[in-house]
Structure 1
Amino acid sequence: MIRFLLSRLLLPLVCLLAAPVAAAADARPVKAVEVVDRVYFVEGVTALGSPANRNFISNAGFVITSDGVVVVDALGSPALAREMIAEIRRLTPLPIRHVIVTHYHADHIYGLQVFKAAGANIIAHAGGKSYLNSQTARLRLEASRDELAPFIDAKTELLAADQWLDKQETVLKVGDTALRILHVGPAHTTEDLVVLVEGTGAMYAGDLVFRSRIPFVGQADSRSWIGSLDRLIDLKPRILIPGHGPVSTMPLEDLKLTRDYLVHLRKTMGDAAAELEPFDEAYDKADWTRFEHLPLFRAANRMNAYNTYLLMEQQGRR
């Protein structure tokens, strides 16, 4: 148990130290793409955050209603948020009414202050308070100010929601559009939200789904994450906007791929933990063939496996 808890405390620092060694990606402009009528997304690069990519490593999106704009996630730096607002202004003069935060991870929230200054109401699940007020969040921001300068600096803030949700489902009605906000955590985080745009079949899935890259498992409870993915599969979305990677027009395949990866992690690392097999030996003999071609496999897979190994030591093979 001590080993497990210690690893939980050290893991965020390990992630911070690992980030700068990632290969820099070329800067990508924030470009809005319409995936279905009045439903848009912007796609980040498949990389770890760096000054070269301005921390544009996650997706975000927005819905234009008859009475204003609803944004989903705020991107990984204030500069990116300003570019996203410029894209919104290119399409509509309507006010930005709300920003829905799918979860409180740095690459999704460092642009919040820009949207707040533009008059948006910030909505998130109450589970995000724990991370927002944690030492982990403060240390991450301090490190980001150094590693991602000048895009993250002393003026970049951690911003709380104006409206904390505590229900399993909330319907947000803006003009002629209804959005179903579902709390599906704990999964990738405690506070995970997904957003369904009624009448379109479109779902903003946040980081429950990583498309065309290895997921970042971090400190997630993978068992609960698998259950959450089963729930999304049952909802049968027609268009899926993941937290990372391109839009999916085959949502069930992509939901199942993320799910299968997590199941594989738990099976291989769970068996090893149950047999008291050393992690290095278990990792080296595991069959990663189905996933090793995915981007960021080398950057993230070993850490995902180790974290799962420690989790399975605690949980057993349940």
Structure 2
Amino acid sequence: MGPGRRTLLRSVVTLLAASCAAAGTLAQPSITLVPERVSARAWMFRGEPGMASAANRGFMSNAGFVVTGDGVVVFDALGTPALGRGIVEAVAKLTREPIRRVVVSHYHADHVYGLQALKAAGAEVWAHRRSLDYFASGLAAERLAQRRADLFPWVDETTELVRPDVLVDGDTSFRMGGTTFRIIDTGGAHAPDDIMLLVEGERTLFAGDLLFSGRIPFVGNADSGKWLAAIERLIPIGPAAVVPGHGPASREVARDLALTRDYLAHLREAMGRAARELEPFEDAYAKTDWSRFRALPAFEPANRINAWGTYLRMEQESLDPARK
């Protein structure tokens, strides 16, 4: 959609919203979400493949929830207020229990812009202490402005970024309705404020963007060394099912953990050697053997970006060993 058509659409929607407001109603886009069952008490909402866009309504990430018997715990809020309302409405169709808590995997736009709807429903927002750095950096305002332009009308001037009510730092546990939850602090792997949520007993893990099912991850400029360390911590836990940040739930968890671990290790080995030897990125990328991963979903859009981000990080680590 060109700038002229986007401006026209924005004007039309603004006029419609004003008309509805004058009539005593509020025009808000809506989405009906259908949860998929993961385990006895856990459910997930699975986003569509691809990048966030107005065409897919910003619905390209996952969220989940657990019905405890004394309230509902939600993990992540999806990427628009309409999607957040969709979570609230879908949960209400499944149970009369209120949504008491939302645990945020990390403050990336596709996981948090639904928070305002969950907050309005009475939920308490939990996130890592390092999420406050995101608000202080200026990046939060920049990303919201970008999303308002790219995802209009799903993200607009009424969209707000909700701050956490409770900050966690390090591993911690809590109970609700007889269910024990363990928050796992990854130490800043995919994002500085990454956390995962393990449902004890059922061994269901909400992993955020740290694990994917049968595809390569999006690494970008993430700290792949810390990411590998987080994966090593998960192996002895032995989750029975994993809800990733994108794509289907994993029930072959050992396979998917090994795939993600091996891919990250391959990136670090190849790009690390190139960085140490001062080999140009283009040459290093061209000569690296990607055959094991080339046929996997997301390879084409993600692998080159992953390699470049890892190359830059390995350059930094070679110059400053303290960053390792």
TM range (shorter): 0.7 to 0.9
Q: Structure 2: which 5+ residue stretches go unaligned?
A: 1-30
Q: Which amino acid aligns with 1:311?
A: R
Match for residue 122 of structure 1 among 117, 121, 125? 125
Q: 1:259 aligns with which of 261, 275, 279?
A: 261
The residue aligned with 1:100 is 103
Is the 2:207–2:243 contact (alpha carbons within 8 Å) kept by the matching residues of 1? Answer: yes
Aligned residues: 291
TM-score by length of 2: 0.86
Is 1:63 paired with 2:66? yes
Distance 1:201-1:106 versus aligned 2 partners, 3 A rule:
same
Equivalent residue of 1:142, what SS? helix
Q: What letter matches 1:129 in structure 2?
A: L
Instruction: Give the alignment partner of residue 294 of structure 1, picking from 289, 293, 296.
Output: 296
1:172-230: per-residue Cα shift (whole Å, max 9, x none)? 21122111111122111122111111110111111111224331212211111101110
Matched, 1:73 2:72: no
1:242-294 CA distances to partner (integer Å, 9 max, x unpaired)? 11111111111111111111111111111111111111111111111222222
- 8 A contact 2:32–2:90 mirrored in 1: no
Q: 1:29 to 1:118 in 2, by over 3 A?
A: closer
Cα separation, 2, equivalents of 1:71 and 1:188? 20
Aligned-pair distance for 1:65?
1.1
Match of 1:177 among 166, 176, 179: 179
CA deviations 1:87-118 (Å, max 9, x no partner) are: 10110111110000011111100100110000
Task: Determine helix, strand or coil for the equivalent of 1:185.
Answer: coil
Partner of 1:249: 251
TM-score by length of 1: 0.88
Structure 1 pair 56–212 and aligned structure 2 pair: CA distance change class (3 A): farther
Distance 1:29 1:284, change over 3 A: farther
The answer as to whether partners of 2:183 and 2:197 remain within 8 angstroms in 1 is yes
Aligned with 2:244: secondary structure? strand
Question: Could you list the runs of 5+ residues in structure 1 that have no partner in the other structure?
Answer: 1-27
| DSSP-derived class of the 2:209 partner | strand
- Secondary structure in structure 2 of the residue aligned to 1:315: helix
Runs ≥4 residues deviating over 3 A: none
Letter in 2 for 1:240: V
Distance 1:287 1:196 in 2: 35
d(CA) in 1 for partners of 2:143 and 2:298?
21
Q: Please provide the CA RMSD for this pair.
A: 1.6
2:145, 2:291 → 1: CA distance?
37
After the TM superposition, which of the residue ranges 111-120 and 209-218 deviates more from structure 2?
Answer: 209-218
- Structure 2 counterpart SS, 1:213: coil
Answer yes or no: is the 8 Å Cα contact 2:106–2:195 preserved in 1: yes
Q: Residue 284 of structure 1 corresponds to which residue in structure 2? A: 286
